[in-house]
Amino acid sequence: MKFVDEYRDKEGAERYAAALAKITTRPWTIMEVCGGQTHAIVKFGIDELLPPLVTLVHGPGCPVCVTPLELIDKAIQIAMRPGVIFCSFGDMLRVPGSAYDLLSVKAGGGDVRIVYSPLDAVKIARENPGREVVFFAVGFETTAPANAMAVFQAEREGLRNFSMLVSHVLVPPAMEAILSSPRNRVQGFLAAGHVCTVMGYTEYFPIAAKYRVPIVVTGFEPLDILQGVYLTVKQLEEGRAEVENQYTRVVRKEGNEPAMHIVREVFRIIPRKWRGVGEIPQSGFGLAEKYAGFDAEQRFGVAEYTAEESSECISGLILQGEKKPNECPAFGTRCTPEHPLGATMVSNEGACAAYYRYRRNP
């Protein structure tokens, strides 16, 4: 298959690994920011191909994993209301809240529906004028344009029974939070290619310069990731800290301007809580004032609700590159995909789920 097979070529991977071993003289720790990259790394054993001096740690790039507990609880509270149709992507249904998950609400008779696009939720609102329809908008910059388009469309049609529970987070402020931590050990980043497809990569220039870290925009196939690691290590070995684009077949420096335009129209930048990490300033999207009437938190009176996260789950440390999933005492024993304690064990992009699925070595 074009653009897949040639990026999974075994001999190409071995050549990259050999080239990397040749240029590596010191220990380096590199973080991949995206959960899709984490899964590819673990699935294809890319980390095991690297020289022992190069360590990959897994970043906060799984949107389901970083959605704070209180937002899951808010979703559950809204979904339990009579008359509500609660729409979500399927991967949010099994994320544990404080007491239940959305799947239990559905099993208990709540009208929780899996949709494949936020515009499906708009359609449901159009077809059910007597019901309140809520869409759970979770994600990074990647999904923001489609979610913004759904609100824009609902406003244009005057759909007053549609609202959105927004949990959008942004990658660059999270990278800065990691780099600012006194416990930080990350020396270079593989930036997520799909995020940069939307936003471009100019936002990374000041971060690379301020913290003296190479940032390489990287794709998702094994050879993409190996090349991204190679370019990062090469910069580190040469004492450079620049932004480079490995994923040139998709990403342009300026990103996708029409997509960013609709995002700027509908959303504004606000502080956001990240599950296991805490609040990061200016790290997410909320609805702009003009679209505040579509805010489900306000409409259902749950904006002030807060929740305490379990102390047993160390996903916050994993998402900041401080621990690996198999260092969690609950991994594979008290916490499994069937009985998850944290979101990183549920999500298709979660690091704990990747370790469990491909290695099973508690």
- Which positions touch ligand SF4 (CB under 6 A)? 312-315, 318, 325, 328, 330-331, 335, 340-342, 344-345, 352
Closest approach of Cβ 356 to ligand SF4, in Å? 8
Three-state secondary structure of 172-234: HHHHHHHHHCCCCCCCEEEEEHHHHHHHCCCCHHHHHHHHCCCEEEECCCHHHHHHHHHHHHH
Closest approach of Cβ 64 to ligand SF4, in Å? 11
CA atoms of 246 and 34, how far apart (whole Å): 15
Closest approach of Cβ 305 to ligand SF4, in Å? 22
Nearer to ligand SF4, 229 or 352 (CB): 352
Nearer to ligand SF4, 161 or 347 (CB): 347
Nearer to ligand SF4, 37 or 344 (CB): 344
Structural contact between residues 118 and 152, judged by C-beta atoms closer than 8 angstroms? no
Nearer to ligand SF4, 190 or 352 (CB): 352
| Residue 116 neighbours by CB under 8 Å, 6+ apart | 89
Nearer to ligand SF4, 201 or 331 (CB): 331
Query: Cα 220 to the chain's mean position, in Å?
Result: 14
Nearer to ligand SF4, 177 or 330 (CB): 330
CA atoms of 305 and 71, how far apart (whole Å): 9
Closest approach of Cβ 82 to ligand SF4, in Å? 33
Nearer to ligand SF4, 320 or 344 (CB): 344
Nearer to ligand SF4, 256 or 326 (CB): 326
CA atoms of 88 and 78, how far apart (whole Å): 12
CA atoms of 139 and 284, how far apart (whole Å): 10
Closest approach of Cβ 3 to ligand SF4, in Å? 32
Closest approach of Cβ 336 to ligand SF4, in Å? 8
CA atoms of 75 and 79, how far apart (whole Å): 6
Closest-approach residue to ligand SF4 (CB) = 342
* Alpha helices in the chain, H assignment, sequence order: 10-23, 35-43, 46-49, 63-66, 69-79, 102-107, 118-127, 144-157, 171-180, 193-199, 204-211, 222-238, 257-266, 296-299, 315-319, 351-358
Residue showing tokens 């996708």:
256
Structural contact between residues 66 and 277, judged by C-beta atoms closer than 8 angstroms? yes
Closest approach of Cβ 187 to ligand SF4, in Å? 24
Indicate the SS3 state at residue 294. helix
Residue 35 phi/psi, 5° resolution?
A: -65, -30
Residues in the chain: 362
Nearer to ligand SF4, 219 or 332 (CB): 332
Residue showing tokens 């099973």:
360
Closest approach of Cβ 67 to ligand SF4, in Å? 13
| Residue 56 neighbours by CB under 8 Å, 6+ apart | 29, 30, 31, 32, 41, 46, 47, 50, 229
CA atoms of 50 and 304, how far apart (whole Å): 47
Closest approach of Cβ 136 to ligand SF4, in Å? 20
